Structure 1
Amino acid sequence: MKNTLRLLICLTITVLLLAQSAVAAPPTVPGQLALKLRPGQHPAVLEAVLLKLGASGLRQKFPHTLAPNPETPGSVDLRGIYQFQLPLTVSLAQARAVLLATGAVEYVEPLYIRQPQYQPNDPLSDSTITSLSAGQYYLKQIKAYRAWDVTPGDSSIVIGITDGGVRLTHVELAPQIKHNYADPVNGRDDDGDGYIDNFTGWDLANNDNDAGYDITIIHGTLVAGVAAAAVNNGHGIAGVGNRSRFMPLNIYPNTATGTFAGFEAIVYAVDHGCQVVVMAWGAPGGYSRLEQDVCTYAAVNRDAVLVAAAGNTNADLLFYPASYDHVLSVSGVDNLDRKTGAATFSHRVDLVAPGTSILTCYGYHLANSGGPADDDYTAVGGTSFSAPMVAGAAALVRRRFPAYNAAQVAARLRQTTDNIDGIPANAAWVGRLGTGRLNMVQALTRPNVQEARVVSSTFAPARAAYAPGDTLRLTADVQNLLQPVAGLTVTLTSLSPFVTVRQGSFAVGSLATLARANNAAAPFRLAVAGSGIPLNTTVSLRYRLTATGGFQYDQYVDLVLNPDYVVLDANDLAVTLTSRGNLAYDNLAGTIGAGLTYRTSGNILSEGGLMLATSPTRVSDRIRSSGGQSRQSFFSLRQATRQQPGPRADQEARVAFQDTVPVVGSRVRSLGVAVRQRAYAWATPARRDFVLLEYSIRNLTADTLKPLYAGIFTDWDLPNPDGAAQNAAAWDSTRNLGYCYAVGRIAPSVPAQYAGVRLLRGGAPAVYSINSAAPAGSPIRLADGFSIAEKFLSLSSGTARAQRTAGLPNGADVVQVVGTRLARLAPGDSTTVTFALLAAPSLAQLQASADAAALAYTTLLPTRTASQAGFSVYPNPTTGLLQVEVPVDFGLREVQVRDALGRLVLRREATGRQVDLRLPDLAPGYYTLQAIGEAGVAVRPVTVEY
């Protein structure tokens, strides 16, 4: 059993990456992606989107898998998973955003490459022992000899060896292979399973029927020898599984067209009768919902015991596939039950087995290579060889207890180990080496074995991470897997000072075998500390299950606290604000942050953020660049924080960041500015469709920034029935509003058809709308990256008609930059620009929301005194005549007056320092006057009387 439960709420990748930000994701198959359709959807709905992405080769990944069984809780459907090829010029982030926005897709992921966990021994290992049988010290250590007296297993139990090719002719392995006699080698698919001549396993990586020996990868032979080498054959060694057979399944490519296929091999194994599957491979990080689906299918739908190596990392981390649900995670010890130096240790480890000097089949020598052909052996080390020992033991337990399901087999293996926490050398890893070291005879003979466990955890509210001061509830679903228990109690304890458990006891009572219970009526209650929590801190909570008779078992669940971003979600538009100026997500992969959603939509902004520039060579941003990377100009000055309520709005956010100050003669291409960002959201009915973003920009250099350009980059992906790539961008000049909308048929069920950015405060407005698929030679071409010169062009080129729209007439994947030009920013001075971020079901509603945003900003967020020095409007109140005065260096260009709804009622061009303004026949009431100049926008509320 996994001694850790991940949050089984909609946390997916976000929590796991935040929890392990220092762990790099494993490599991926270039250009290959997988997606999963939502139930009831057909791949035909994606044709238009895939065509626009340039995708090809869409195919059902697991067409022959078993459908979910309604009577088996937790079973999964793999038939909705499809794989396709994406052009290398299209990013994963773009493809994910476009496909998810259709509403038909559950997830989009890369295909990870997991490596074998092989670690060679030094020359003084047991491989030097001349008596080969004596070299298998581990059989005595795990009590295999005594276990074989209880049952030697049976050839009907098959272990799937998902690994490199196996030396099929090796004297120890040839008689142990499970052949498929329903499909002999004759060029036909005799058994109709979709595989031709799969008589001896299958090569999933290269898609052929040769799962045999490959001189470059002998790992599969080594693993197979530990689990299933022939016993009593007068040669070499004995496999832990004794009479159990094995199925060879190659997962590593040896052809130009081959790809890693570990998870495909798991599906093949369980669909072809393997009751146990061993995965002696993996990698830290890179959580995948597809991979978890495969493991769930194998363990729940197909009732197979999955056993995986915990990895050779000597670290406490998530290692996949071992750390997935329904997988036994096996770490390693030496011949004295001490943790091996390289073995992974964590709350996710289930048990350990020997992992040093493991004598096994070598499978390396050929008949003419000077060594014994097909009868060679070697001693190796690593958790790769601990895992097949447990797999062999699982095969015997399945034979001994044929009525057990896979979860019960795993439970019995966990609960019959020899505890090794008391060994002095293991003191540093107490509680992180599972329940102990494998004991095979106890697994087969101990009576009255018990294991109740928490099988799922549900947090409310469901969040990827929790902020200081949050309170939350935790519901635990408990199942008894083995012998009935009485007096069962679950006690929740925080292992961190940053979380307090206010109510942590759940009295379950008695549970029969396989019975369940939960504490939904009285969930655990927790509180997060209000301060002092380091950024992105992962904390563990411990479930301790106890019952009458001495049963005790610990499990763990993790929480991420104090994330380096905040989410404003007071109204219908919820948006993530990062500590470095980005919107929606803090990375291009779209895994850190909650995105931007509107009402019931999924994420509709694949990438967004602030861009600043003063020349084609001095640009600061964290927006995409090239090669799937983003620029990293901004760094955080302090963590993003949220107030609820705030002094001016129902939710407010504060962010501070800056870029690098250029040094004379350096090649730094930044500006040298510090930015204080404030954001505001309201829950009131008239203000539910927008969030205000206010940026105060200070010049840290000794030079005047002249001019200074500031803008918001948005890559919207608004869904419609014809596909999210069918968007267009436009400009409403009366409102300084840049917006994007879905082109094609209207989808009544999709809440957001329009989204945009309005400039509320700043200098001269600008917009640049970009077709992402623009051909070579276009002024801005995103297909080959987004250079700093192109970013400057998008900020500085004004509002020429050719740049106001994109994607017309048929729609495209569009990007838009809405910005402003400030005449100058002197050394040490600050200026403020403000934008409204908006979404709405129609253009009319978007425009109304833009007007409401302008009103909210001018009436509820008074302009700060420092930026209004020298600006006056009098008399105020007035009966119709106003005098407006601005500072000497303001550069006045225009004066506007708007009513209480934000509608423009007067516009007048103006220059100089003073303007006499006669208002038209306006009704008495409240109005807003804006003076627009080179230095920015100055605002004053005005009252008109009779």
Structure 2
Amino acid sequence: MKNTLRLFLILLLIGLSSPGYAVGAPPTIPGRLVLKLRVGQTPVALEAALRALSATAPQQKFPHALAPSPERPGSVDLRGIYQFQTSATLDKARTMLLATGAVEYVEPLYIRKPLYQPNDPLADSTLTSLTASQYYLKQIKAYRAWDVTRGDSSIVIGITDGGVRLTHEDLRPQIKHNYADPINGIDDDGDGYVDNFTGWDLANNDNDPGYDVAIVHGSLVAGISSARVDNAAGLAGVGNRCRFLPLNIYPNTATGTFAGIEAIVYAADHGCQVINMSWGAPGGYSRFEQDAITYAAVNRDAVLVAAAGNTNADLLFYPASYDHVVSVSGVDNTDRKVGSATFSHRVDLVAPGISILTVYGYHAGAVDADYTAVGGTSFAAPMVAAAAALVRWQFPTYTAAQVAARLRQTTDNIDALNTTWVSRLGTGRLNMVQALTRANVQEARVITSTFAPARPAYTPGDTMRLTATVQNLLAPMAGLTVTLTSLSPYITVQTGSFVVGSLATLGQANNAAAPFRLAVTASGIPLNTTATLRYRLTATGGFQYDQYVDLVLNPDYVVLSANDLAVTLTSRGNLAYDNLAGTVGAGLTYRTSGNMLSEGGLMLATSSTRVSDRIRTSGGLSRQSFFSLRQATRQQPGPRADQEARIAFQDTIPVVGSRIRSVGVAVHQRAYAWATPGRRDFIVLEYSLKNLTADTLKPLYAGIFTDWDLPNPDGAARNAADYDTTRALGYCYALGQPTTASVPAQYAGIRLLRGGTPTVYSINSGASVGSPVRLADGFSIAEKFLTLSSGTARAQRSAGLPGGADVTQVVGTRIARLAPGDSTTVAFAVLAAPTLTQLQASADAAASTYATVLPTRPTTSLVGFKVYPNPTAGLLRVEAPAGFGLTEVQVFNALGQAVLRQNAGSNVINLSLNGLAPGLYTLRAQGQSGALTRSVEVR
């Protein structure tokens, strides 16, 4: 017997059935990530990026996976999935690897939990009249189903779960052995697993999937689906003669890891026609997990069945809520929903899930003959898996999708007993005899839903098109119609009918020629609202079937995308994403690039102990200084730009003696984007800062933190940082030249447009111990203050050189003083371009646009601001008001291009405009307390 990590596994079980189980992403394996290469790419393309991440060499996760086949539309390729280990954060690894252009996705490996419900009085699973018998066999019509067929040992159910008591009297005869690989120390069948004669332990990578004292869940599940029938002992498995393959997915060694997804692929590759998954967690959608499930269901044509969860709530539960999975919730012996059972539109059907008598497998007596009664959707799922096995035997030509359809369409309707959960417990309770015998069963189903434009969330006033692809899985249909209805008051379906007509078995149709049309209401939508749309499929003869699709409306961020630079702005001061994981927001993209900014946002400071921001700290966390005063909104078009955003937030007002290290400033943010030529490579961010405290802030620092990850032909980490003193432009660039048009942005940066004295601080993220700022061990408050308050002394033109590195930068400004109740305005431009020359031209265009298109609100009166003679034949004198602190004068042409720039040593300066073509120009005078503009005509 293996040495058991009892504490680890016991902790996995605590609280899994509690109605108060927190809904969120499940736990992950720290530092262990998976990536999927794009078609035609190899790991060689990732070498530089992986080195920069200090990652282990990527290991192909499923080297023996079956290649996708054109005969199975929708099949996937798992051979491009690799696993690696890194100390870098998930968002950093994701951004750097995606930026190579060779990767489809980068994800963590989730730990999914077994769904055991404790067998104690408070769990309400010890009803005396039920626990002594298999009452559920009669309820699901198993006895009558066995009169039709008892299945066959060639049909195998993969039990992906905890270890199974292999010697139990009711399990031992039902195990599917691999006689092609006997126990001899050799991989006789060449499948990559040595001596996998009796299943496999995927969690600990050995050939012993046997029982472990800390977790008996696998034996409980296997007993329901596969216990030996007619052996004059114990109980009868629902699958009767069908066999099972034991696959352990929970670690019981020091090096073991959760391996539920790997077990699904193993089961599919080793002939399991049905795969049971009585485990999972709310939330944590994963493309990697969906890929593995699609592979098993489509490439390998396996029926996947999963427990819907033991959380009494309407939620998505994975893996049950993935595509191609039959999701099973639970009812009691009277067909009423079990109190703890999860419900949702994603549930397909239900089965008994309380007081389920099954194999215990604890080996409490002298022989392996122990039994117990348990509850939870874990034990409803294997009933459906066993029924699927019998349907596969009875209908050998059926695909996995057809088996699932037949199970759904032959249930007993229990809506009258569950009026609170109508449409959220699937089609009804499993009826095995109907699944095996009913004639002319029909099911058409929407198999794909494609929204255009495709977005993670939709904002008020958006319109969209929806294309649905419908497939008829069972008997031929006539008069098939798909009707789309909004179940949300915030979405209007403008065109909602798709007349399919007749459709043969396995035939498909779509409404691409005339898609559904929808509109989001313009106002009144709560933040982050989930809106549900219902497909109702009807056909001649009384067929009716409902499916559902969800959309997120009114997200707590906006995206400015009017030009080539698309930027997410959150309601709490961040750029690109609202969280470090990079899952809330659309990032920052340029033309056809992927996301180029892994983290960005506003930072404010007045001392080394008073800093406000929502930027990283340490341990994978970020500070939460700012809170939203008003939801981020977008106007399109706006009064002064093609797109405008309005955001309001603030930090906490510090109190004497309090440990809160905030500044005490309210921020009103405006952002602008233009689609016109010459203004397509930048957006303008303007911040109005109001002192909420009773003290003068002297000085006040404000800056934009950016962690750029610009794409390189050979890895995203080869970046460097620099500073253009003339323009107050801090920027990052990628070393090397792009090899394809898919890498359009080699430069990106932030320019200070207005307010105070420029500051810039460039950081090499891999700086050694003892460096003034070392991000490898976190980003402290003192370090943040240092980056804002060091002026331009740390511009570090060599940051990242000579070979390139992962660099970050803070571009900001110093406001000499801000009195209580007073406000000041600072403005920045966010820029991207293919070359430095183009970046600088865009920076000039941003300055000109800000000076001419956007009305400035200078803190200094226009009184005393003189520009003469105007019109002029060439000579021009500029006089700024007293105290303005004139530092520079710029002249812009009608295209927003800077044609003249001259530094000023006093409030008076003489300019020569000789050589400029006749026309109208804009003069911009920059001072320490603001900016002043004046139109100038040259004759």
TM category (shorter chain) comes to: over 0.9
Aligned to 1:17: none
**By how many angstroms is 1:803 displaced?**
3.0
The within-5 A match list for 1:127-526 is: 135-366=133-364, 371-423=365-417, 426-526=418-518
SS at match of 2:367: coil
Specify whether residues 383 and 231 from structure 1 end up closer, same or farther in structure 2 by C-alpha distance, changes over 3 A only: same
SS at match of 1:436: coil
**Contact kept in structure 2, 1:127 and 1:135, CA below 8 Å:** no
Aligned to 1:7: none
Alignment partners' CA distance in 2, 1:22 and 1:878: 70
Question: How does the TM-score come out when normalised to structure 1?
Answer: 0.94
Aligned to 1:742: 734
Greater mean alpha carbon deviation, residues 45-54 or residues 97-106: 45-54
Aligned to 1:941: 934
* Residue 852 (str. 1) matches residue 845 (str. 2): yes
Specify whether residues 328 and 389 from structure 1 end up closer, same or farther in structure 2 by C-alpha distance, changes over 3 A only: same
Specify whether residues 598 and 678 from structure 1 end up closer, same or farther in structure 2 by C-alpha distance, changes over 3 A only: same
SS at match of 2:342: coil
Specify whether residues 224 and 939 from structure 1 end up closer, same or farther in structure 2 by C-alpha distance, changes over 3 A only: same
The within-5 A match list for 1:641-790 is: 641-749=633-741, 750-790=743-783
Residue type of the alignment partner of 2:143: Y
Residue type of the alignment partner of 2:801: L
Alignment partners' CA distance in 2, 1:252 and 1:497: 44
Residue type of the alignment partner of 1:41: Q
Specify whether residues 128 and 933 from structure 1 end up closer, same or farther in structure 2 by C-alpha distance, changes over 3 A only: closer
**Contact kept in structure 2, 1:420 and 1:436, CA below 8 Å:** yes
Aligned to 1:882: 877
**By how many angstroms is 1:373 displaced?**
2.6
Specify whether residues 123 and 592 from structure 1 end up closer, same or farther in structure 2 by C-alpha distance, changes over 3 A only: closer
**Contact kept in structure 2, 1:578 and 1:640, CA below 8 Å:** yes
**Contact kept in structure 1, 2:249 and 2:263, CA below 8 Å:** yes
- The one of 900, 906, 909 equivalent to 1:905 is 900
Which residues of structure 1 form unaligned runs of 5+?
A: 1-20
Q: 1:282-310: per-residue Cα shift (whole Å, max 9, x none)?
A: 00000000000000000000000000000
Aligned to 1:818: 811
**Contact kept in structure 1, 2:180 and 2:189, CA below 8 Å:** yes
- State percent identity of aligned pairs: 76
Alignment partners' CA distance in 2, 1:607 and 1:39: 28
**By how many angstroms is 1:895 displaced?**
3.2
SS at match of 2:182: coil
SS at match of 1:687: coil
**Contact kept in structure 2, 1:877 and 1:943, CA below 8 Å:** yes
**Contact kept in structure 2, 1:634 and 1:659, CA below 8 Å:** yes
Specify whether residues 858 and 200 from structure 1 end up closer, same or farther in structure 2 by C-alpha distance, changes over 3 A only: same
Specify whether residues 681 and 236 from structure 1 end up closer, same or farther in structure 2 by C-alpha distance, changes over 3 A only: same
Question: How does the TM-score come out when normalised to structure 2?
Answer: 0.95
Alignment partners' CA distance in 1, 2:331 and 2:546: 21
Aligned to 1:26: 26
Q: 1:305-326: per-residue Cα shift (whole Å, max 9, x none)?
A: 0000000000101100000000
**By how many angstroms is 1:882 displaced?**
3.1
**Contact kept in structure 2, 1:869 and 1:887, CA below 8 Å:** no
Residue type of the alignment partner of 1:488: L
Q: 1:894-916: per-residue Cα shift (whole Å, max 9, x none)?
A: 131323244362424334xx536
Aligned to 2:13: none
Aligned to 1:12: none
**Contact kept in structure 1, 2:472 and 2:506, CA below 8 Å:** yes
Alignment partners' CA distance in 2, 1:908 and 1:57: 53
Greater mean alpha carbon deviation, residues 678-687 or residues 243-252: 678-687
Residue type of the alignment partner of 2:528: N
SS at match of 2:415: coil
- The one of 545, 558, 562 equivalent to 1:566 is 558
Aligned to 1:3: none
Aligned to 1:105: 103
Tell me: higher relative CO, structure 1 or 2? Use CA pairs within 8 A at least 6 residues apart: 1
Aligned to 1:921: 914
**By how many angstroms is 1:874 displaced?**
3.9
**Contact kept in structure 1, 2:722 and 2:795, CA below 8 Å:** no
Alignment partners' CA distance in 2, 1:240 and 1:853: 71
Alignment partners' CA distance in 1, 2:213 and 2:919: 87
**Contact kept in structure 1, 2:671 and 2:683, CA below 8 Å:** yes
Alignment partners' CA distance in 2, 1:177 and 1:886: 91
Aligned to 2:17: none
SS at match of 1:146: helix
Specify whether residues 85 and 797 from structure 1 end up closer, same or farther in structure 2 by C-alpha distance, changes over 3 A only: same
**By how many angstroms is 1:938 displaced?**
1.6
Alignment partners' CA distance in 2, 1:126 and 1:528: 45
Aligned to 2:541: 549
**Contact kept in structure 2, 1:659 and 1:673, CA below 8 Å:** yes
**By how many angstroms is 1:932 displaced?**
3.8
**By how many angstroms is 1:926 displaced?**
3.8
Alignment partners' CA distance in 2, 1:857 and 1:614: 27
Specify whether residues 909 and 153 from structure 1 end up closer, same or farther in structure 2 by C-alpha distance, changes over 3 A only: same
Residue type of the alignment partner of 1:272: H
**By how many angstroms is 1:775 displaced?**
0.7
**Contact kept in structure 1, 2:125 and 2:374, CA below 8 Å:** no
Residue type of the alignment partner of 2:219: T
Specify whether residues 918 and 416 from structure 1 end up closer, same or farther in structure 2 by C-alpha distance, changes over 3 A only: closer
**Contact kept in structure 1, 2:923 and 2:936, CA below 8 Å:** no
SS at match of 2:63: coil
SS at match of 1:147: helix
**By how many angstroms is 1:470 displaced?**
1.0
**Contact kept in structure 2, 1:121 and 1:356, CA below 8 Å:** no
Aligned to 1:39: 39
**By how many angstroms is 1:859 displaced?**
1.2
Specify whether residues 556 and 729 from structure 1 end up closer, same or farther in structure 2 by C-alpha distance, changes over 3 A only: same
Alignment partners' CA distance in 2, 1:867 and 1:379: 80
Alignment partners' CA distance in 2, 1:883 and 1:46: 55
Aligned to 1:92: 90
Alignment partners' CA distance in 2, 1:581 and 1:75: 42
Residue type of the alignment partner of 1:588: L
Residue type of the alignment partner of 1:242: N
Specify whether residues 916 and 268 from structure 1 end up closer, same or farther in structure 2 by C-alpha distance, changes over 3 A only: closer
* Residue 628 (str. 1) matches residue 623 (str. 2): no
Specify whether residues 870 and 619 from structure 1 end up closer, same or farther in structure 2 by C-alpha distance, changes over 3 A only: farther
**Contact kept in structure 2, 1:870 and 1:887, CA below 8 Å:** no
**By how many angstroms is 1:745 displaced?**
4.0
Greater mean alpha carbon deviation, residues 596-605 or residues 736-745: 736-745
Alignment partners' CA distance in 1, 2:130 and 2:556: 59
Alignment partners' CA distance in 1, 2:127 and 2:625: 57
Alignment partners' CA distance in 1, 2:354 and 2:66: 39
Residue type of the alignment partner of 2:934: P
Alignment partners' CA distance in 2, 1:871 and 1:545: 74
**By how many angstroms is 1:870 displaced?**
4.7
**By how many angstroms is 1:883 displaced?**
4.6
Alignment partners' CA distance in 2, 1:288 and 1:908: 55
**By how many angstroms is 1:927 displaced?**
3.9
**By how many angstroms is 1:928 displaced?**
3.9
Alignment partners' CA distance in 1, 2:567 and 2:265: 38
Which residues of structure 2 form unaligned runs of 5+?
A: 1-20
Aligned to 2:15: none
Residue type of the alignment partner of 1:758: R
Greater mean alpha carbon deviation, residues 740-749 or residues 264-273: 740-749
**Contact kept in structure 2, 1:126 and 1:359, CA below 8 Å:** no
**By how many angstroms is 1:742 displaced?**
0.8
